[in-house]
Amino acid sequence: MKSTLAVVEKLHADGIIGPYAVGGAVGAAFYLEPVATLDVDIFVLFEPAPLILTLTPIYEACARLGYEAEGDAIQIEGWPVQFLPATQPLVAEAVRNAVNRQSDGLTTRVMSAEHLMAIALQTGRAKDYARLVMFVEAGVAGPDRLRDILARHSLLDAWAKFEHRFLKS
């Protein structure tokens, strides 16, 4: 995984991808106990937004580095990596506000805990709710910041339902 994220950062440094952020289960692992996952979600901002959004340049650059596409992901250093355009407003904001992490020569960018929670709530699959419960139990999110994000993206009702369903026991 370290080598995978190093390649993603290199793609960014080389200008192949714009601002990016690690999301999904791998992003959550920066804040929570790690949970098994099969792939890496990398959300990428395309700025300025092109007329036709295509991931072809990313696939071509990866192929030049020896990383081939497999289904809807690219195999990079043993992990399938999905490059996902951050076109939806909440996801785009999450990428813009991503946190830089640096350690031991590795640099990467990760979505904030609050944005990961809001995206999980918006996505709303069983595994997203499970991750949300883990975030709540861990107490790693800033309540004011989370409320602000939820309010701006019309997710307060969804949050109330989530609380009622999963936290009121």
Partner 1 sequence: MSSDMQRIVQSKDAERRRLRELPWLEKLEMLDKLRERHLWLRNTRAAGAPLLNAPASDHDKPGQ
Q: How far apart are CA 12 and CA 18, in angstroms?
A: 6
Q: Which residue, 55 or 74, is less far from partner 1 as judged by CB?
A: 74
Beta strands in 2-78 (DSSP E): 20-23, 40-44, 69-70, 73-76
Q: Is 70 in the site for partner 1 (CB under 8 A)?
A: no
Amino acid at 67: Y
119-129 burial, b if ≥16 CB within 10 A, otherwise e? bbbbeeeeebb
Judged by DSSP in three states, 65 sits in coil
Q: How far apart are CA 45 and CA 108, in angstroms?
A: 15
Q: Is 126 in the site for partner 1 (CB under 8 A)?
A: no
Q: How far is the CB of 33 from partner 1 (least distance, A)?
A: 4
List 9, 10, 19, 29, residue binding partner 1 (CB under 8 A): 29
List 15, 36, 64, 70, residue binding partner 1 (CB under 8 A): 36
In this chain, which stretch among 8-16, 28-36, 59-67, 83-91 interacts with partner 1, using CB under 8 A? 28-36
Q: Which residue, 34 or 89, is less far from partner 1 as judged by CB?
A: 34
Interface residues toward partner 1, by CB under 8 A: 1-2, 5, 26, 29-38, 78-79, 101, 103-104, 106, 138, 140
